[in-house]
């Protein structure tokens, strides 16, 4: 596995929507708070779901991936869907859901590490995943807690 410069740049560009939501919350005042919060939640859930697809692909690529990998791969989509339910039933949303997704993003590279293991080039992948998941996880938590 190799991580090209373009992959790295695009990966970090993927933090821009969450950073924009945080900036909007800080500079846009109360009028933009809920919109920035909802968009920040949606983006975090979309990326978390995307990670599940990545894990599925990695599980197919690495024959020695843990047997639980397919289950782990479908969980982000199911968690994302379930995290939307509080809003449907009138409970506080999206702050609690965004906190959950932000925390899950922070620990998500552990799944990558378990799947990739000691594969050649795997360290570069894990380093990038840690950087991106830490970035989006922290941004998501900041958006949720402001």
**C-alpha radius of gyration, the chain, whole number:** 16
Q: Residue 29 corresponds to which tokens in the numbers above?
A: 């005042």
Query: Long-range contacts of range 71-75, CB-CB < 8 Å, 24 or more positions apart?
Result: 72/111
pLDDT in tens, 74-95: 999 999 999 999 989 998 889 9
Q: Does the pLDDT of residue 117 top 90, yes or no?
A: no
Instruction: Give the pLDDT mean for 11-24.
Output: 98
Instruction: Give the pLDDT mean for 44-69.
Output: 95
Torsion angles phi and psi, residue 111, rounded to 5: -65, -45
The burial of 33, by beta-carbon neighbours within 10 Å (0-12 exposed, 13-18 middle, 19 or more buried), is given as: middle
Kindly list the distances between the CA atom of residue 43 and the CA atoms of 3, 50, 88, in Å, as whole numbers in the listed order.
23, 10, 18
The domain segmentation of the chain, as residue ranges, is 5-145
Cβ atoms of 97 and 86 within 8 Å: the answer is: yes
CA gap 140, 105 in Å, rounded? 9
Would you state the pLDDT for residue 144?
Answer: 97
Would you state the pLDDT for residue 92?
Answer: 83
Would you state the pLDDT for residue 36?
Answer: 96
Q: Residue 111 corresponds to which tokens in the numbers above?
A: 């799944």
Q: Does the pLDDT of residue 121 top 80, yes or no?
A: no
Q: Does the pLDDT of residue 7 top 80, yes or no?
A: yes
Q: What is the pTM of this model?
A: 0.94
């Amino acid at each position: 596995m190799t991580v090209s410069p373009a992959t790295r740049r695009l990966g970090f560009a993927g933090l821009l929507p969450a950073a924009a939501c945080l900036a909007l919350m800080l500079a846009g005042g109360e009028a933009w708070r809920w919109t920035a919060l909802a968009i920040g939640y949606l983006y975090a859930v979309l990326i978390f779901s995307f990670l599940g697809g990545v894990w599925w692909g990695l599980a197919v690529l690495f024959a020695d991936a843990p047997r639980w990998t397919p289950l782990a791969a479908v969980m982000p989509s199911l968690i994302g869907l379930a995290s939307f339910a509080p809003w449907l039933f009138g409970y506080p949303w999206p702050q609690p859901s965004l906190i959950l997704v932000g925390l899950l993003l922070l620990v998500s590279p552990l799944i990558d590490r378990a799947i990739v293991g000691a594969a050649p080039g795997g360290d570069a992948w894990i380093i990038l995943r840690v950087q991106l998941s830490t970035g989006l996880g922290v941004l998501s938590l900041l958006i949720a807690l402001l």
